Amino acid sequence: MKRVAAMLTAALLPSTLMAALPAGASGPPAASALTAAPADVPTHVPGIAGWPNGKGFDVVYRASTEKIAFRRLVDGAWSAPIDLGGRLVGGAAITFAGGRPHVFGRGTDGQLWQRVRVSGTWQAWTKVGGLVLSSAPAAAGRPDGRIDVFARDAADRLQTRTYTPGTGWGAWTSLGGTLNSAPAVIMTGPDSLRVVATHQDSTVRTRTLSGGTWSDWASLGGRTYSAPAVAADPAAGRTWVAIRDAETNRLHLRTLSGTWSAWQVMGGRHIDGPAASFTGGKAAVIVRGRDGALWARTVTGTTWSAETRAWVPGPPYAVPSALRGKNVTRISTTAKVAALTFDCAWSAAGVPSIRATLQRENVPATFFLVGDFARMFPVNANRLTASGFLIGNHSDNHPNFTKISDVTARTEITGARTAILNGNGAEPRPLFRFPYGAYTASDVTLVNGQGYIPVGWTVDSLGWKGTSGGQTAAKVAARVLAAAKPGMIVLMHVGDNPDDGTTLDADALPAIIKGLRDRGYTFTTLDALY
């Protein structure tokens, strides 16, 4: 509703410039237990950069409103947040170049965007562009003002681009590899870089730039579904790589100091990949815990501090009064906008094709995950989140809500949220879809009470029926296109038909996207509802 028009007019909306911290400020006011407003709940992997003077760190993160928040971390104390505005997909990156902090992110148009602070004032967001991204970027700045940016493209390959003062941005260059997540990068010397990334087999690999030449990819082992983090102390010749372990969700660390150490278990139970940086003799690692908060720990030399919580996350948004008591079946708008939605339950057979099509066509979408899906298919569940798609709750075990008790219904809702949040770091609230589309008025009230908006559909593609049910990819596409109307919500599925093994929704998706575009439609996710 109120956000649809904004999303149609700009890919990333710059906000009014916020007041900067005073120039030369030594750090933030002490705050041991800051409590966040709902708009300041962290989502996705944050970005962190050490100050050039070694006294602290700048941290940026996407908040629950998709705006970008900025805080400073000094001696374990966090400043109050500054709103950097804009809308990004996925997390943000930050680096210092020429003494200035530069924030980078993937805009809702899929392009790279940047915001920089000059003389204490944040400038407007500007588009770097040139490439459709499929993950959050990473960036490494240099004292002379040069910046190297790295990102995963629509085909999941690693790409890099360099900014040179006085010359501007060079062309994007492919570094190969097929990535499972966003990359991480760090300067290891005056003209040396190390990039680290999770590959399709979920292992961590790295390559280095030295003397203008890139090494081949080398395996660091480990296994993670999330983006890794890397920090370096060039003076000591030490590098740290941190990951969220795929099996335990605990922080694992590997250190290079002449030779690589074995992976060290650092503890904690986390829902996302970490971020890391080094400055002033201290490395900091921050990561989202299962309570949704950012947790931080530091290392001085080889001694690690305990993990401490940054601030208490704020409460979730309440369901808007205008949406209470409703199972929403279309977005209220007169604009030609469509929301593609996919239910994820018994199978993930269509996920690779669907994800590839959406990334190639630069189309956003919403995926409703069953808790069992998140548990059975963690690789696919994490790839959907890593690609920046919006995630909703589709119950824990896919029961008919009209045939279960209120107690069981609440357990279904909370169990799915736990499985999704702990498994891939996505907060499914406030989007919920009833299994089978079956509900009563009291079920809607119950779902509202859990903080969710029930979302149905304008048209069911019927791709789930398969060829054994008389469907074809052409019939699926034709059914969706015949139902085209402003604000339409399209229901599709990622699984295969259990009788014939077909994935007709995946097969029909390219024709659906082309057909809607030919009719003048653009695409949105279901956060346009609230």
Catalytic pick among 343, 372, 496, 505: 343
Please give the Cα distance from 60 to 71 (Å, whole number).
6
Tokens of 394: 């589709």
Cα–Cα dist 208/194, whole Å: 4
> Which segments within 88-228 are labelled E, that is strand?
88-97, 100-107, 112-118, 121-122, 126-127, 138-141, 147-152, 158-164, 168-169, 173-176, 184-189, 192-198, 204-210, 213-214, 218-221
Catalytic (active site) residue 83: no
CA distance 408 to 139: 46
- Rounded distance, CA 378 to CA 373, Å? 8
Query: How many CA atoms lie less than 13 Å away from 467 in the CB half-sphere?
Result: 9
Residue 430: asked if its preceding bond is cis (omega within 30°), the reply is yes
Beta-carbon contacts of residue 519 (< 8 Å; ≥ 6 apart) = 336, 481, 484
Contact call for residues 172 and 128 (beta carbons, < 8 A)? no
Are residues 243 and 273 in contact, defined by beta-carbon separation less than 8 angstroms? yes
Name the active-site residue from 102, 460, 493, 507. Answer: 493
Q: Is 493 a catalytic residue?
A: yes
CB atoms within 10 A of CB 329: 16
C-alpha pair distances (Å), 207 with each of 204, 254, 313: 11, 15, 36
Helix, strand, coil shares of the chain, percent, nearest 5, are 20, 35, 45
In eight-state DSSP terms, residue 271 is S
Collapsed DSSP state (helix, strand, coil) of residue 493? strand
- Strands 459-460 and 488-493 come out as parallel
Lookup: tokens for 361: 């066509």
For 38, 97, 459, the CA distances from 314, given in Å and listed in that order, are 5, 33, 36
- Report, as residue numbers or ranges, the catalytic residues: 343, 493
